[in-house]
Amino acid sequence: MKAWAVVRNSEPLECIEVTMPEPTGSQVVLAVEACGVCHSDLHFWKGSYNLGGGKILTLADRGVTLPRAPGHEIVGRAIAAGPDATGVTLGESYIVYPWIGCGRCDDCANEDDNLCTSQNSIGVLQHGGFASEVVAAHPRYLVPLGSLDPALASTFACSGITVYNAIQKVMPLAPDRPIVLIGAGGLGLAAIAMLRAFDHKAIISVDIDPAKRQAALGMGATATVDGAGEGVSGRIVEAAGGPVSAVIDFVNATGTAAAGFGALAKGGRLVNVGVAGGELTLSLAGMVFRNVSVMGSNTGSVKDLRAVVQLAKSGKLPSTPVTRFPKDSANDAMRKLKSGEITGRAVLVETV
């Protein structure tokens, strides 16, 4: 099979030939029909994360070897299955849950693979959707596509479950209580769509780019805030009519997290989602006096994926913008995402 792979960090992806996988046990092989391009793929390409305080986490530290095809937002057609893979229909299309765990720990038994400490994620520790085929470890990681658009539905596998899980962490919240979303890229717009599906009425989007703020308004944000320069916390409070109970930071850099934290009301929650990285200095006594919470949110579970797909199939979840690229243009899609030229999600498809 062919795979657009990271061969050397930060250098253009190369199309390499990889041995076609033979499914064993409960494995299912799928021919990739669509694969979203996520900011995590850019970090994978670069090969490192900024942990703050001058510390860097490399993907080599996480056990990643190259060459490796990235891509974890996958829709594929099941083409082969191992003898123990029951309940999968060959020829059918599925959304693939990528953040698979060890399959043996309590979190995995509870289908909370994203909390497993020994993951075997697709597009990170095994070849992802930038390849022509991928392997799902078990049919339970596959959610039937039905009549959904493959390009849009592919984004549910990371973007969709990530925003769903993060929003659960600030709920329940009355529909007219503002929720602040920092960043209006793929995740920010998906979060606006998800909040609309939940009939939330007060959605404030923060971004440094006027075009992205415009896209947020188009998606249904009720107000936007310029995230550039000084005084961002003050502008958020002003737009919200007071300090806010919920901030979800899809950028999660030193500056954005501080701006979100500074805008919190007593009892408010800041949810960290992006991996731009850096650090947040907290007054420990201040945490108590303000009764605030800061919490990380790492993607979502396959249960979240089923919930998001059900929401989409019910017609309640508005579609987010998708830009299709032929798979041969994977480098172009990555470059455009990196330079901020993509509104919503770039998705690699077999034919545009």
Q: Answer yes or no whether residue 108 interacts with Zn ion by CB under 5 A.
A: yes
For Zn ion, the closer CB: 23 or 101: 101
Tokens of 319: 């579609």
For Zn ion, the closer CB: 105 or 280: 105
Strands 322-326 and 55-58: unpaired
The one among 5, 34, 38, 193 contacting Zn ion by CB under 5 A? 38
Distance, in Å, from the CA atom of 101 to the CA atom of 213, rounded to the nearest integer, reads 36
Span from 81-89, 111-119, 180-188, 256-264 in contact with Zn ion (CB under 5 A): 111-119
The one among 26, 27, 40, 93 contacting Zn ion by CB under 5 A? 40
**HSE (side-chain half, CA atoms, 13 Å) at 303:** 11
Distance, in Å, from the CA atom of 41 to the CA atom of 185, rounded to the nearest integer, reads 14
SS3 32: strand
Strands 28-37 and 14-17: unpaired
CB atoms within 10 A of CB 5: 21
Tokens of 11: 């250098």
Tokens of 255: 């500056």
Tokens of 136: 């799902």
Kindly identify the residues of this chain, within the stretch 45-104, that bind Zn ion according to CB under 5 A.
101-102
For Zn ion, the closer CB: 124 or 258: 124
Q: Answer yes or no whether residue 116 interacts with Zn ion by CB under 5 A.
A: yes
Q: Answer yes or no whether residue 105 interacts with Zn ion by CB under 5 A.
A: yes
Largest CA distance in the chain: 60
Per-residue interface string for the shown chain with Zn ion, residues 289-328, x marking contact by CB under 5 A: ----------------------------------------
Span from 151-159, 271-279, 303-311, 337-345 in contact with Zn ion (CB under 5 A): 151-159
For Zn ion, the closer CB: 116 or 163: 116
**HSE (side-chain half, CA atoms, 13 Å) at 228:** 5
Span from 81-89, 108-116, 290-298, 339-347 in contact with Zn ion (CB under 5 A): 108-116
Least Å from the CB of residue 187 to Zn ion: 8
Least Å from the CB of residue 124 to Zn ion: 10
Tokens of 213: 């703020």
Distance, in Å, from the CA atom of 272 to the CA atom of 254, rounded to the nearest integer, reads 11
For Zn ion, the closer CB: 126 or 293: 126
Q: Answer yes or no whether residue 158 interacts with Zn ion by CB under 5 A.
A: yes
Total binding residues for Zn ion by CB under 5 A? 8
Distance, in Å, from the CA atom of 346 to the CA atom of 337, rounded to the nearest integer, reads 7
Q: Answer yes or no whether residue 109 interacts with Zn ion by CB under 5 A.
A: no
For Zn ion, the closer CB: 50 or 214: 50
Binding site for Zn ion (CB under 5 A): 38, 40, 101-102, 105, 108, 116, 158
